[in-house]
Amino acid sequence: MPQGTLFIVSAPSGAGKTTLVRELIESLDGIQVSVSHTTRAQREGEVDGVNYHFVAVAEFEAMIARGEFFEHARVFDNFYGTARPAVEALLGAGQDVILEIDWQGARQVREQMPDAVSIFILPPSRDELERRLASRGTDEHAIIARRMRDAVSEMSHYDEYDYLVINDDFTTALRELQSLVISRRLSLERMREAHGPLLQGLLS
């Protein structure tokens, strides 16, 4: 069975990454999002193993010590991380896997998995990004300004990625993401593994 592909998807807040990725995995078979580990408390409506793997700090630190994370970070008082064993098992079973992580996490993963395909999602303009960030609620101007600064900082790393998708029209952006996944599945290496007997039969 051909090995799955690891896709890294990053974007600034407000670019529409979460909705695009959700639609992508609903529209294609054989691809799923990696579920991160966290030490933060489980919120109402969240499901362990679906939204996150919720673990105690001691267990998270033990996983770090065993070298089980592709990448991990401390955000305020909580740890978040992407566990390597679960991702490698899915890839080995021929599943494509998406990691939704920031540029720092992406850099750590690429060092360990140079074959990973990285995609950065951008908004169509700064004005539209600000509009999307402001439309999330009645946040004061200072909070929106801080979110914009964080978004610009994240976007400055776009050139570390293999592919760029601009989310202006949602349907177009989704089709572009689907095309990236499908084209990877049609690569010579994966087709050889998946259709070895056919290729032999065609040439015999």
Residues marked as binding? 11-18
Binding residues for ATP: 11-18
H or E segment at 8?
strand 6-10
H or E segment at 80?
strand 78-83
- Amino acid letter at 9? V
Written in H, E and C, the secondary structure of 120-163 is: EEECCCHHHHHHHHHCCCCCCHHHHHHHHHHHHHHHCCHHHCCE
- Amino acid letter at 133? L
Residues 6+ apart with CB under 8 A from 136: none
Q: Which residues pair with 162 in a beta bridge?
A: none
**Cα(24)–Cα(147) distance, rounded to whole angstroms?**
26
